[in-house]
Amino acid sequence: MTEVFGIDPLIIKNEYFIEYRHSYGKTSPFFENLSKGKIMATRCEHCNKTFMPPRADCPYCLRETKWVEISGKGRIHTFSTMYFAGEKFLKDVPFYLAYVELEGVDTLLLTRIKTKEPEKLKIGMKIKLRIARELEWRASDIWAEPDE
């Protein structure tokens, strides 16, 4: 039976579910290394740029990059408290997102900050990336925690 929400105008319920078989392609080693406790970025030796999130190909010269391990230590560049979210993450609010500057990395990483003392968060605060004990093979397998 089609669910009907209204008759003037006629409004009915449509549903559409999709399963994707999503490949991480050449960045797959990032996730494989998480299971060994390592956080890997990619580096273009030609341009002297290190990318996190990793890019298999350098956007500046299009040469292939190399994997390098990073310390995961860094600082908050900017952060914010999420009081609302897309449907999938509404269950998590409030939560904290930040762009972090990482040691040895040229890009900023967008990540969650997990902390019991959110009132102490500030721009410039030292952080360290953590790796989930049980991997979901998603970007949410890493997050930042205050490190001071």
Partner 1 sequence: MTRKVAIVAGGVTYFSKARKDKTQEELAAEAMRMALYENDINMSKDDIEGSVIGYFSDHFENQLKFGAIIQDYLGLNPKSNVRIEGGGATGGLAIREGYAQVASGLLDVVAVIGFEKMSEVNTAKGNEFIALASDTDWDFPIGGYYSGYYALMARRHMEEFGTTEEQMAMVAVKNRNNAQYNKFAQTNPKMNPYGMRDGGFIKVEDVLKSPYVAYPLKRLDICLMSDGAAVAILASEEKAKKITDTPVWITGTGAGSDAMRAGDRPRDNKSLPLLPHEKPEWYKNLEYPGVHSFRAGREAARQAYKMAGIDNPLKQLDVIELHDAYTSSEIQTYEDLGLARYGEGGKLIQEGQTLVDGEVAVNPSGGLIGNMHAVGATGIMQAVEVFWQLQGIAGKFHGSDKTQVRGAETGLIHSHAGTGTYVTVSVLRR
Among 19, 36, 48, 84, binds partner 1 (CB under 8 A): 84
- H-helix or E-strand containing 111? strand 108-113
- Single out the segment in contact with partner 1 by CB under 8 A; choices: 35-43, 67-75, 110-118, 127-135: 110-118
User: Which of residues 35 and 81 has its CB atom nearest to partner 1 in the complex?
Assistant: 81
DSSP secondary structure string, 16-66?
---------GGGHHHHHHHTTT-EEEEEETTTTEEESS--SB-TTT-PBPE
CA atoms within 13 Å, Cβ hemisphere of 79: 27
The two three-digit tokens of residue 60, written as one number: 């500046």
Residue 112 to residue 39: CA distance in whole angstroms? 16
Least distance between partner 1 and beta carbon 28 (Å): 11
Among 56, 97, 131, 135, binds partner 1 (CB under 8 A): 97
Residues 3-62 that bind partner 1 (CB under 8 A): 6, 9, 11, 14, 16, 24, 27, 51, 53, 59
Q: Is 98 in the site for partner 1 (CB under 8 A)?
A: yes
Residue 33 to residue 44: CA distance in whole angstroms? 19
Least distance between partner 1 and beta carbon 77 (Å): 7
User: Which of residues 69 and 89 has its CB atom nearest to partner 1 in the complex?
Assistant: 89
Rg of the Cα trace of the chain? Answer: 20
Residue ranges that bind partner 1, judged by CB under 8 A? 6, 9, 11, 14, 16, 24, 27, 51, 53, 59, 77-90, 92, 95, 97-99, 107-112, 123, 138-140, 143
